């Protein structure tokens, strides 16, 4: 096991940097304590990039501001009432917070802010032991009263003090435990899991926005599945994302269907692998769609003759359920629309293997996906979880063929922006119309024509439009 001394050496580069050295010197000169705390210490010990520099001190906010002003390029309040002052020193942004000794009333996760007088007292109020370590400056002494380093080495998530107290004070920490288990690849301690299970209903006092933020952070980790499993197993998911545990459909010994819950987690993992291999940054839209793509199955499950289980129209039902859940989580409207659309379209490709699609069908596939086409490619490929190698290969080759056809048609026809040759203004001129429903109907006719037959040219489009208009009359 790595020694504490060796681990502290990793923090030397941060402590030796000019901005941190100047900060430490200023506080020491004023007789004040200063320590690098929390995430930066944890990440440095793990060899992960350190992006944020958070410090804690016994100085009060006004004194912090007085101490950093002479050595910084800019200063601003992050939350003076919470004891936090930020500054930019030599191009490096730092946040310094007065020791806290908060108390909670039990009815809200918002603490009664109280400033503390000791570093150890500040550390006990932090969420997990691996985040409750500090490097005292300038003496570079590790302050670790709760065994965070040992838990870091054993890859364990647990709380300083009893987890029932920690989660009772701030229930959002239960979601953070799930997120950190995925983000760090750590195991949550059994007593911590037990407290999460017991106190799961307390999550209801947390604002929807904070819940949504933590779920998003969880999904954007490299491997969200362990965190999702933890939320489901503790009952938290039933309260914040109930459609996911609902995927654990009851098994009938005479009925045959795959485990939808496990399938959905596999699709999510495969989508993330494809997202990376195709050179994309993590996409919340894609990952939500992968996790939720089959949430319409519980509502549409039917057992047919012979024990065959069907889920007819689960794509359409699932799209509506996804939109409803994401609205309840107050996700952005564009995220809701995109996820719902991907869920609705996720089965579209599987008709491709039944018979050759015409060019018209390919154009419509692209048109319906719009800006989501790349995510639809990934979701559809990830949705193949069969253990039948021959079937998996057949579907993969078929999708390769579809992507090649899309590329070929796009190159020949400019498929990225499929529009009729005539816009609304020209349609009104040709038909002598004023703005109204007839213009929309004419535009749809020309768009369908474009999708069915490809580019026509303006003259032919006008001729076909007039022919269509006369036939309507």
Domain borders along the chain are: 4-153, 155-241, 246-416, 419-472
Nearest CA to 118 out of 58, 195, 63 is that of 58
Give yes or no for a cis peptide into 138 (omega within 30° of 0). Answer: yes
Helix (H) / strand (E) containing 198? helix 190-199
Give the integer Cα–Cα distance in Å for 290 and 294. 8
User: CA-based diameter of the chain, in Å?
Assistant: 91
Q: Tell me, what's the pLDDT at 361? A: 86
Residue 338: predicted pLDDT: 97
Kindly report the backbone phi and psi dihedral angles of residue 57, in degrees, each rounded to the nearest multiple of 5, phi listed first: -155, 160
CATH architecture of residue range(s) 155-241: Orthogonal Bundle (1.10)
CATH of 246-416, one of 1.20.120, 1.10.10, 3.10.450, 1.10.3210: 1.10.3210
- 56 burial (CB, 10 Å; 0-12 / 13-18 / 19+) is buried
Q: Which CATH class is domain 4-153?
A: alpha beta
Q: What length is written for the chain?
A: 473
pLDDT of residue 433: 86
Residue 13 to residues 20, 132, 148, Cα–Cα distance (Å) = 10, 21, 21
pTM above 0.75, yes or no: yes
Spell out where 234-369 has E strands: 302-303, 309-310
Handedness of CA 251, 257, 263, 264 (dihedral sign): negative
**Residue-by-residue pLDDT tens, the chain, 473 positions:** 456 777 777 787 788 889 999 999 999 999 999 999 999 999 988 888 888 899 999 999 999 999 999 999 999 988 777 889 999 998 899 999 999 876 666 666 566 668 888 999 999 989 999 999 999 999 999 999 999 999 999 999 999 989 999 999 899 999 999 999 999 999 999 999 999 999 999 999 999 999 999 999 999 999 999 999 999 999 999 999 999 999 997 554 444 456 899 999 999 999 999 999 999 999 999 999 999 999 999 999 988 887 788 899 999 999 999 999 999 999 999 999 999 999 999 999 887 766 678 888 888 888 889 889 999 999 999 999 988 889 888 888 889 988 888 888 877 666 555 677 888 888 888 888 888 888 888 888 888 887 777 777 888 888 888 888 888 86
Judged by DSSP in three states, 30 sits in coil
For 471, counting Cβ atoms within 10 Å of its Cβ (0-12 exposed, 13-18 middle, 19+ buried), the class is: exposed
């Amino acid at each position: 096991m790595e020694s504490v001394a060796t681990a502290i050496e990793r923090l030397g580069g941060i402590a030796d940097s000019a901005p941190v050295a100047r900060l430490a010197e200023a506080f020491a000169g004023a007789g004040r304590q200063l320590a690098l705390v929390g995430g930066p210490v944890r990440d440095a010990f793990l060899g992960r990039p350190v992006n944020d520099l958070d410090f804690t001190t016994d100085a009060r906010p006004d004194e912090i501001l007085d101490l950093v002003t002479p050595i910084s390029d800019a200063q601003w309040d992050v939350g003076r009432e919470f004891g936090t002052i930020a500054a930019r020193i030599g191009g490096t942004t730092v946040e310094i917070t007065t020791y806290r000794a908060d108390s909670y009333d039990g009815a809200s996760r918002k603490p009664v802010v109280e400033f503390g007088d000791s570093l150890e007292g500040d550390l006990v109020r932090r969420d997990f032991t691996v985040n409750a370590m500090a490097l005292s400056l300038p003496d570079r002494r590790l302050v670790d009263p709760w065994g965070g380093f040992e838990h870091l080495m054993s890859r364990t998530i647990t709380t300083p003090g009893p987890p029932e107290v920690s989660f009772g004070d701030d229930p959002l920490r239960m979601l953070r435990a799930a997120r950190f288990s995925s983000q760090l690849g750590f195991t949550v301690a059994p007593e911590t899991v037990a407290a999460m299970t017991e106190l799961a209903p307390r999550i209801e006092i947390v604002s929807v926005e904070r819940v949504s933020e933590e779920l998003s952070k969880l999904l954007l980790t490299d491997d969200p599945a362990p965190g999702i499993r933890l939320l489901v197993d503790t009952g938290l998911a039933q309260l914040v994302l109930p459609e996911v545990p609902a995927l654990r459909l009851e098994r009938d010994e005479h009925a045959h269907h795959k485990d939808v819950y496990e399938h959905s987690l596999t699709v999510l993992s495969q989508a993330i692998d494809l997202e990376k291999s195709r050179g994309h940054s993590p996409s919340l839209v894609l990952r939500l769609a992968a996790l939720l793509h089959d949430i319409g199955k519980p509502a549409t499950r039917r057992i047919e003759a012979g024990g065959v289980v069907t889920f007819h129209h689960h794509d359409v039902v699932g799209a509506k359920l996804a939109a409803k859940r994401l609205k309840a989580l107050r996700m952005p409207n564009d995220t809701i629309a995109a996820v719902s659309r991907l869920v609705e379209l996720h089965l579209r490709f599987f008709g491709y293997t039944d018979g050759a699609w015409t060019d018209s069908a390919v154009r419509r596939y692209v048109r319906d996906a719009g800006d989501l086409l790349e995510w639809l490619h990934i979701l559809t490929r990830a949705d193949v979880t069969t253990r039948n190698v021959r079937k998996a290969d057949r579907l993969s080759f078929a999708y390769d063929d579809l992507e090649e056809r899309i590329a070929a048609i796009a190159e020949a026809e400019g498929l990225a922006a499929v529009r009729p040759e005539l816009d609304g203004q020209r349609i009104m001129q040709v038909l002598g119309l004023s703005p109204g429903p007839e213009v929309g109907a004419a535009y749809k006719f020309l768009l369908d024509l474009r999708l069915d037959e490809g580019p026509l040219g303006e003259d032919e489009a006008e001729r076909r439009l007039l022919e269509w208009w006369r036939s309507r009359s």
